[in-house]
Amino acid sequence: MTQNADEMVAAPSDEMPAEPTQALRFGQARLARSAALVEDYVELIADLLARGGEARSTDVAKRLGVTHPTAIKNIARLKREGLATSKPYRGIFLTEAGQALAHRVRARHRLMVELLLAIGVPLEAAEADAEGMEHYASAATLAAFAAFLRAHQ
């Protein structure tokens, strides 16, 4: 008899959580989805600046696989939130807050990739999976992942 991945994971409890607990969990997931977009843009802009000294909206759009108008709209959001600035004909730059956020996101990404590699996930899959997972793990979960890696290296 074979089992699929859903059958292999036992549910911790068949009981539903209390309404406030469940509402809090769903709220945290919605907040993480909203933050994920900002984090992806900031991380990519930091990477482009580090590698080429310049981050242009056309490059951001191409690398994120979105249209140029979508990239422009989201870059405007970064500016409103104090994470980025731009100069005419010079591209996009991160503020100190944007650089700090990019650093935190990059560290979470590296931690997630290291954990996935440690449990046997192939590199390419680990990199791809980490792109989504890095935004949703809580600080407690990330700390547990880091402790696990320290204990098993």
Element counts in the chain: helices (H) and strands (E): 7, 2
Q: What pLDDT is stored for residue 7 in this prediction?
A: 52
Q: Report the chain (153 residues): mean pLDDT per 10 consecutive residues.
A: 51 74 70 82 96 92 96 96 90 96 94 95 95 87 94 87
Please, what are the domains in the chain? 27-151 (1.10.10.10)
Q: Which residue has the tokens 């100069």?
A: 87
Q: What pLDDT is stored for residue 13 in this prediction?
A: 64
Q: What pLDDT is stored for residue 136 in this prediction?
A: 84
Q: What pLDDT is stored for residue 11 in this prediction?
A: 52
User: Does pTM surpass 0.95?
Assistant: no
Backbone torsions φ then ψ of 122, nearest 5 degrees:
-60, 150
Q: What pLDDT is stored for residue 1 in this prediction?
A: 44
Q: What pLDDT is stored for residue 47 in this prediction?
A: 95
d(CA 140, CA 151): 16
Percent of residues in the chain assigned helix, strand, coil, to nearest 5 = 70, 5, 25
